[in-house]
Chain A
């Protein structure tokens, strides 16, 4: 392997990381928002898949991929609303509801998505930042999807908003101490439902990225558990939106190892490298389970903590 090869692999990994990480960023930000309010929505995997299908279908029907993204977000809001309302009933466990919402989301997507597997819908156009480069590998690595940029901007807005706005403080308060929120006349259920709905929107948008940009088509094997891994990622990012980006890029880079190696002609262990994100998830879960900092920064009202 030459130095040029290694440079090529790294460029491919960078480009791959940005592509693969985008759905992670959206789902993780959505989950962060929900968990900051004191609830866990494990159903975001279902939201992601339904978002992918709805986004693709609407883009095909209307010819506008951005309308598809919006529709995907709205489908996520609907699933979020169902989750939020059911969890507000007394003695309902949010983990169990999340798991059933996961099945509901994928089930709906498969049921309504059958007619859209064949047709080709308009995709989101990437922005070409690599026009100056002569090397085609660099050129393709620097094709950045606008949704990636939207995700980064959203993360910064969330990070700023959690510290500097009334809504941000109310959200953190509800997630950390329900009695305190109640004593102030805040209705924790309302805050949580809204947070779950908004979190669902973000996850739905993440799903649209899967079908409208990368890999860029709708089929039933589209998501490979990104929605679930994003939950692990939120714990790793310790509920901080900016750390969510870093963690998502890390997952993305791990997911890009296999294709990057293949691009320089190394196909040995391709499937093994494709499993890298799952192995990373396991390692992260084990190491953060032992971390005392993570335990201290977790919102106090989460059902798995109490």
Chain B
């Protein structure tokens, strides 16, 4: 905990990592100078995590080496990394929920004493916190902290451990834009003062532009570009990131769509797993030909609202109307009102992993002609025929219709679900985090499909944690915070800061 420690540099030289046949990382050299805020940009699967795991000692690189503070160093385990002053802030919190912040920090120290003298430790922590640019409550269990506070605590923990080279793995994915800017701003200031060097994994150009000094871009395990952020445009970075892939262009938004339907949510209340209110008094009306986006930090009731609409969770109170008629989340009503859905994590929420692609494609139609006769007699050949059709139409990459859906890549699972839900006549569509973890081509495809349905007159409810996605796709934006809708605005008049403030509950 000495105050004299300063930032140091870190370089990887020709780093490669192969797993059997798969080349995850190929000849990547990056250099982070002391006190630099360096961004590592790339799509999912581009090799960012592999590179960082090689630095942290989780993996041993197949070739290449590491230079820390000007000297070549072998890092064999995360403990080695810790001893060298390299600390990582993980995307998923590594704090222990039942321990307090103070307990979390003390136990994270390798040299914590066998019997802990809390009077002494708390005094030392108070002195440490006095020097820090941000504060968190130390004496309540971490489970009671907000996401932003947890993220701050993760960073504080690394500084408390005297780690002067911080690796941040998508640190803002659970924060409001305001919290994200605050935390990255503070980290940036500390780097400028030469107290820490930072390597941040991200896929958000905005954060790179606003906070990073320099950037390295990876694509398919290879380095595709590096340089000062001030010398690069967003277009250049995006080109380095996705290469020459042709993306499907969304249809432009039509102005005068003839609405097919409308959905109204009136006074919805939903409880979470522990019986506490998760959604409170949500009133929303969505017209045909409109996308309403619900923005918010995850964990503010969006999941519960979605599950209630999908029939996975009982409504505690409130009514749902489609075209003015009462709607229940049952198979009968989904069919009658032509309500369809693309839930988040489709493999978990919209598919049966071990059933075949064909069977998964038939979930909506297996009990209707032509797949059935006399109401219950299934005809697998018909099912297969229809599946082959849909697979071609939606360009699902699968070895055969009989392959279990769990063997498909994330993008192709999402396409399969799209094919099932969007091939018929859609009047109401409920979508949640549809692009989470997908590559650019799949993202473009899915967004184009959503806009296409909007232009054909469907009423669309979009729940997403990605504010940029909401702003791109929605006609109106609603903000959800602590289970309530506290702000609704037309996208044309929407302003990031105002939305961010409402996401934080103000």
- Give every chain B residue within 8 A of A299 (Cβ-Cβ): 98
- B107 and A179 contact, CB distance less than 8 A: no
Residue B108 CB within 8 A of the other chain = yes
**Distance A185 CA – B92 CA, assembled complex (angstroms):** 17
Residue A134 CB within 8 A of the other chain = no
**Distance A30 CA – B113 CA, assembled complex (angstroms):** 25
Known: A165-B116, A169-B107, A185-B78. A180 touches B95 (CB 8 A): yes
**B interface, over-half SS:** loop
- A166 and B274 contact, CB distance less than 8 A: no
Binding site for A on B (CB under 8 A): 77-79, 90, 92-99, 103, 106-108, 110, 112-116, 118, 143, 273-276
- Give every chain B residue within 8 A of A297 (Cβ-Cβ): 98
| Interface segment, one of A17-25, A141-149, A170-178 | A170-178
**Distance A296 CA – B98 CA, assembled complex (angstroms):** 9
**Distance A300 CA – B273 CA, assembled complex (angstroms):** 14
- B118 and A164 contact, CB distance less than 8 A: yes
- B79 and A179 contact, CB distance less than 8 A: no
Residue A89 CB within 8 A of the other chain = no
Contact partner of A183 (CB less than 8 A), chosen from B94, B98, B115, is B94
Contact partner of A300 (CB less than 8 A), chosen from B98, B113, B116, B274, is B98
- A165 and B114 contact, CB distance less than 8 A: yes
- Give every chain A residue within 8 A of B143 (Cβ-Cβ): 296
- B97 and A177 contact, CB distance less than 8 A: yes
**Distance A295 CA – B78 CA, assembled complex (angstroms):** 33
Please name 18 pairs of A and B residues whose Cβ atoms are closer than 8 Å in the assembled complex, sorted by A: A164-B118, A165-B115, A166-B115, A167-B114, A169-B103, A169-B106, A169-B112, A169-B116, A170-B107, A172-B98, A172-B99, A177-B96, A177-B97, A179-B92, A183-B94, A292-B276, A295-B274, A299-B98
Residue A184 CB within 8 A of the other chain = yes
**Distance A190 CA – B136 CA, assembled complex (angstroms):** 32
* A: number of interface residues (CB 8 Å): 23
Contact partner of B116 (CB less than 8 A), chosen from A164, A173, A176, A179, is A164
Residue among A172, A184, A290, A297 having the largest count of chain B Cβ atoms under 10 Å: A184
Contact partner of B96 (CB less than 8 A), chosen from A176, A290, A296, is A176
- Give every chain A residue within 8 A of B118 (Cβ-Cβ): 164
Extra inter-chain contacts (15) besides given A167-B114, A170-B107, CB under 8 Å: A165-B114, A165-B116, A169-B106, A169-B116, A172-B98, A173-B99, A176-B98, A177-B94, A177-B96, A184-B94, A184-B107, A185-B110, A290-B275, A299-B98, A300-B98
5 shortest A-B CB distances, which residue pairs?
Answer: A169-B107, A183-B94, A292-B274, A176-B98, A180-B94
Which of chain A's residues has its CB closest to B273's CB?
A: A295
Known: A166-B114, A296-B143. A176 touches B94 (CB 8 A): no
- Give every chain A residue within 8 A of B112 (Cβ-Cβ): 166, 169
**Distance A169 CA – B113 CA, assembled complex (angstroms):** 11
**Distance A192 CA – B293 CA, assembled complex (angstroms):** 45
**Distance A91 CA – B94 CA, assembled complex (angstroms):** 23
**Distance A292 CA – B272 CA, assembled complex (angstroms):** 11
Which of chain B's residues has its CB closest to A181's CB?
A: B96
**Distance A165 CA – B112 CA, assembled complex (angstroms):** 9
**Distance A166 CA – B90 CA, assembled complex (angstroms):** 23
- B107 and A173 contact, CB distance less than 8 A: yes
